[in-house]
Amino acid sequence: MTGSLPMTPGRWVALVIGIPLALLVIGWTALSAVAWAGLGSYQFNLAMPVHGPAVAVSVDEGDVSVGPGPAGRLRMHGTLRYSLVRPQLRWQRSPSTIALHSHCRVPTGLCSFAYAVTVPAGGRSEVSNASGNVTASGLAGTVRLSTDSGDIHATRISGSATIAGHSGDIIVSSLSAGRALIMNDSGNTTGRGVSSQVLTARDQSGDITLVFTAVPRQVRISDSSGNVKLVLPPGPTHYRVSASSSSGQTSINVPQSATSPHVVSVTDQSGNITITR
């Protein structure tokens, strides 16, 4: 013989909390299934004349790739991928700037943005991203690349370059900018094939590794938390080296001279410093 269990206060609480929660989970699962079943994509193209030597592109969400294009023209190709409802996209333009603002309308499923941008070659170009990766290749002139949340990959950058990241890794290769400034708040900074004559790199939390293929005139590195490794070109060049770490070991294996015009300065709060050839 069986009987019903008495409804204690604890069981009432379990029912009051559990039933709505179970319905919420079921509804969310069903919505997700429908969203992934209803995938779509949308592409757009923008082209505008550029007045003056400078151009600026800003994006609030999505991955951005940028390269050189024809003089006097800014071009952008975008791909939006989504579930169920096409996300909102709007832009603001001025004679030399464009700002893209996007918004996902469905809280689940797929919603992504990718932009390919070409800027006039050899001018002054600035590309900023609030949330997403930035990839740049073949830019010259005065170049500024930045992202608040995402990685930056830059290759074959010449002229004068400023690369700034807030949360993500910065990776550069074939960097020949006469003057280069690299700033990172949280993430590793890596450079390969660096031939810049004047380079400054700062990192708040992350390792800094730079491999030079040409003898630099001035290198200034500062790191708050992370290891620093500089690989200078082989050869007889002497360097005026200043390296100090508050908490870590320092290893210097390059020819040194107190009167050398080639200056290398490295400071680190917590991490090892290695300077070698």
**120-172, pLDDT tens digit by residue?**
988 899 999 999 999 999 999 999 999 999 999 999 999 999 999 999 999 99
Q: For position 18, what pLDDT does the model report?
A: 54
Q: Provide the 10 A C-beta neighbour count for residue 223.
A: 26
**pLDDT, position 126:** 96
Q: What would the pLDDT profile of 14-42 be if each residue is shown by its tens digit? A: 545 555 555 454 444 544 444 444 577 78
Q: Are 172 and 154 in contact (CB under 8 A)?
A: yes
pTM of the full structure: 0.84
In this structure, the dihedral spanned by the alpha carbons of residues 253, 254, 255 and 261, taken in order and rounded to 10 degrees, is -140
The rounded distance, in Å, linking the Cα atoms of 174 and 156 is: 5
CA-nearest of 177, 185, 178, 134 to 158 is: 177
- Report the pLDDT value the prediction gives residue 114, as an integer from 0 to 100: 93
Q: What is the pLDDT of residue 86?
A: 78
For the chain, what percent of residues have pLDDT higher than 70?
Answer: 84
pLDDT of residue 7: 55
C-alpha gyration radius of the chain: 26
So what's the pLDDT on residue 111?
81
User: Can you name the residues that pair with 137 across neighbouring β-strands?
Assistant: 155
* Coil vs helix vs strand at 243: strand
Note the Cα 52 to chain centre separation in Å. Answer: 27
Instruction: Output the CA–CA distances (angstroms, integers) from residue 267 to 226, 242, 272, 275, in the order listed.
Output: 11, 8, 10, 12
Give the CA-trace dihedral at 265, 161, 207, 115, to 10 degrees. Answer: 180
Q: How many CA atoms lie within 13 A of 78 on its CB side?
A: 22
Encode pLDDT of 45-86 as tens digits: 988 898 888 999 999 999 999 999 998 899 999 888 887 677
107 pLDDT band (50/70/90 cuts)? low
Q: Where are the domains of the chain?
A: 38-121, 133-277
97 or 194: which leads in pLDDT: 194
pLDDT digits (tens, 9 = 90+) for 178-230: 999 999 999 999 999 999 999 999 999 999 999 999 999 999 999 999 999 99
List, in sequence order, the alpha helices (H) in the chain: 9-37
> How many Cβ atoms sit within 10 Å of the Cβ of residue 194?
26
Say which range, 97-106, 117-126, 268-277, has the weakest mean pLDDT.
97-106
